[in-house]
Amino acid sequence: METLGEFIPRLTKRVRCFYHKCKSEMYSLKKADTNLKGRMGVFAWVRELRRDDKFEISTYKKLGDKSNVTHLADKIVPGMHYVSKKQDVGEGTGIVYYVQKDSRGPDYDKAVKALKAILSLK
């Protein structure tokens, strides 16, 4: 069974992005390979759902809307992401894609397609 540590390099190679391990059991996906504050370019997060034998890829709904991939999401989660008091409450809405462990099928292709579209945003 594929681990998160094995899945991340496979996913990011296909999407053509970078990844960094977070303090928790999660990885962030980035546009640039940097840890400079304010220039991190994080556009998604990946974590393992061990009980369900799948991986969860989450991103901002506003990015999904801009790149026209929100309709591909498996779930829309209001309030998923932190928003400051200055931001609109809707800004914190997230979208989630699920990929079964060891998958190279439609669920994996759907997540890759969405991430590539989001990554291509300027």
**Where are the domains positioned within the chain?**
4-119
Taking the CB of residue 56, how many other CB atoms lie within 10 A of it? 18
- The residues facing 60 across adjacent strands are 94
4-119 CATH choice from 2.30.240, 3.90.1150, 3.40.50, 2.40.128: 3.90.1150
pLDDT of residue 122: 61
Q: Percent helix, strand and coil across the chain, each rounded to 5?
A: 35, 30, 40
| Cα angle value 43/8/58 (rounded, 5°) | 35
In this predicted structure, what is the pLDDT of residue 9?
96
Q: What is the pLDDT along the chain (122 residues), one digit of tens a residue?
A: 899 999 999 999 999 999 999 888 899 999 887 665 555 678 999 999 999 999 999 998 989 999 999 999 999 998 776 655 555 555 678 999 999 999 999 999 999 999 999 999 86
